[in-house]
């Protein structure tokens, strides 16, 4: 919602200010200029990026549009899942096979639906528990392996935002391209007997191309690229949390200390305190599949208690 509100502010201020000064909105509506500039940008994006980067860019776009928020409920489910898996692993890593081989069918993973909705995080968890179960590996070796894997994941996830940033930087150039073509059309109309008013209209339409390129760069694509970077940072934060939990566990520390080590890497705005973590671990099991419904029902129960 915040992103849409910010976009509304940009549109209202730019076009509202233009209209207040007596500008005609019809004059800046130039579909052909949009076709030239937008088509050139999309074509350059397709030419300059492999298919998997474009696919990941689409996934990140959808994640931004659906307004998926990583809050304390997500962190609670992640930490509780890791704690439960570590407790199972304490009885022997082979006991995890039935859970990590088919996590979608596992009773353990089904208790944490927000984690099941994150395929990259889910694969990272199950793959590294498999790695631990395949043979003895010390904490130093495991940390080195996970560091390399996280670096590769980060490089892949950040590439769409980098590519979009480059296209954003090129948009003013594409705007100039559209403007130049418009000027060429205007100059050609001089020899065809066009009136001064018609020529002025064509020149004005050409200048709109420059405006479109600059507006799309700084008003839309550059902020969108930054939002994608923040989204990747959120995903990497969860992966880093899992890495620290696994490395701490392999080093021989108790499960609680391993989970607390992962808690320390959670983003500050949603980072739970140690007391909260203990409360989550000591609380009786609840149905995490419908946390929103439980949260909505709580105020009604309290209101009923006051009324009684």
75 in any annotated domain: yes
**Placement of tokens 């705005």 in the chain:** 269
Instruction: Give me Rg for the CA atoms of the chain.
Output: 27
pLDDT-based confidence at residue 70 (cuts at 50, 70, 90): low
5 in any annotated domain: no
Instruction: Name the residue among 160, 162, 161, 167 with its Cα closest to residue 44.
Output: 167
Which pLDDT belongs to residue 224?
92
229 in any annotated domain: yes
Which pLDDT belongs to residue 68?
61
49 in any annotated domain: yes
Token pair of 148, please? 């390399």
**Placement of tokens 């074509």 in the chain:** 43
Report the number of distinct structural domains present in the chain: 1
* pLDDT digit string, tens, across residues 156-171: 999 999 999 999 999 9
Q: How far apart are CA 270 and CA 71, in angstroms?
A: 6
SS3 label, residue 120: helix
288 in any annotated domain: no
58 in any annotated domain: yes
Q: What is the 3-state secondary structure (H, E, C) of the chain?
A: CHHHHHHHHHHHHHHHHHHHCCCCHHHHCCHHHHHHHHHHHHHHHHHHCCHHHHHHHHHHHHHHHCCCCCCHHHHHHHHHHHHHHHHHHHCCHHHHHHHHCCHHHCHHHHCCHHHHCCHHHHHHHHHHHHHHHHCCCCHHHHHHHHHHHHHHHHHHHHHHHHHHHHHHHHHHHHHHHHHHHHHHHHHHHHCCCCCHHHHHHHHHHHHHHHHHHHHHHHHHHHHHHHHHHHHHHHHHHHHHHHHHHHHHHHCCCCHHHHHHHHHCCCCHHHCCCHHHHHHHHHCCCCCCCCHHHHHHHHHHHHHHHHHC
Q: How far apart are CA 109 and CA 126, in angstroms?
A: 10
Which pLDDT belongs to residue 52?
93
SS3 label, residue 296: helix
223 in any annotated domain: yes
* pLDDT digit string, tens, across residues 159-217: 999 999 999 999 999 999 999 998 998 888 887 777 888 888 889 888 999 999 999 99
The mean predicted confidence, pLDDT, of the chain is 84
- DSSP state letter for 284: P
**pTM of the model as a whole:** 0.79
Is residue 276 within 8 Å of residue 301, measured between CB atoms? no
Percent share of the chain, pLDDT over 70: 89
Which pLDDT belongs to residue 67?
62
* pLDDT digit string, tens, across residues 249-276: 888 888 889 999 999 988 888 888 889 8
* pLDDT digit string, tens, across residues 2-28: 777 888 899 889 888 988 888 888 888
21 in any annotated domain: no
- Please give the residue range of the domain that contains residue 140: 28-279
């Amino acid at each position: 919602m915040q992103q849409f509100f910010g976009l509304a502010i940009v549109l209202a201020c730019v076009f509202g200010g233009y209209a207040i000064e007596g500008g005609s909105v019809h004059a800046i509506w130039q579909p052909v200029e949009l076709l030239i500039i937008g088509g050139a940008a999309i074509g350059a994006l397709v030419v300059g990026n492999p298919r998997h980067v474009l696919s990941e860019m689409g996934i990140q776009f959808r994640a931004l549009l659906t307004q998926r928020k990583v809050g304390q409920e997500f962190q609670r489910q992640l930490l509780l899942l890791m704690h439960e898996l570590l407790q199972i692993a304490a009885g022997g890593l082979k006991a995890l096979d039935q859970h990590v081989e088919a996590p979608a069918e596992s009773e353990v993973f089904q208790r944490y639906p927000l984690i099941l909705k994150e395929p990259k995080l889910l694969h990272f968890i199950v793959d590294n528990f498999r790695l631990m179960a395949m043979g003895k590996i010390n904490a130093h070796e495991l940390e080195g392996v996970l560091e390399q894997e996280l670096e590769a994941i980060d490089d892949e996830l950040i590439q769409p935002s980098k590519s979009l940033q480059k296209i954003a930087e090129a948009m003013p150039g594409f705007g100039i391209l559209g403007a130049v073509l418009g000027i060429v059309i205007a100059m050609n109309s001089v020899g065809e007997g066009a009136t001064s008013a018609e020529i002025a209209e064509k020149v004005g339409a050409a200048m709109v191309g420059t405006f479109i390129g600059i507006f799309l760069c700084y008003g839309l694509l550059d902020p969108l690229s930054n939002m994608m970077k923040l989204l990747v940072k959120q995903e990497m934060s969860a992966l880093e949390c899992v890495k620290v939990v696994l490395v701490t566990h392999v080093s021989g520390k108790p499960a609680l200390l391993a989970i607390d080590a992962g808690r320390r890497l959670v983003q500050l705005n949603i980072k739970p305190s140690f007391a909260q973590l203990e409360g989550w671990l000591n609380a009786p099991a609840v149905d995490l599949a419908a946390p929103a419904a439980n949260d909505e029902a709580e105020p009604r129960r309290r209101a009923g208690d006051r009324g009684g």
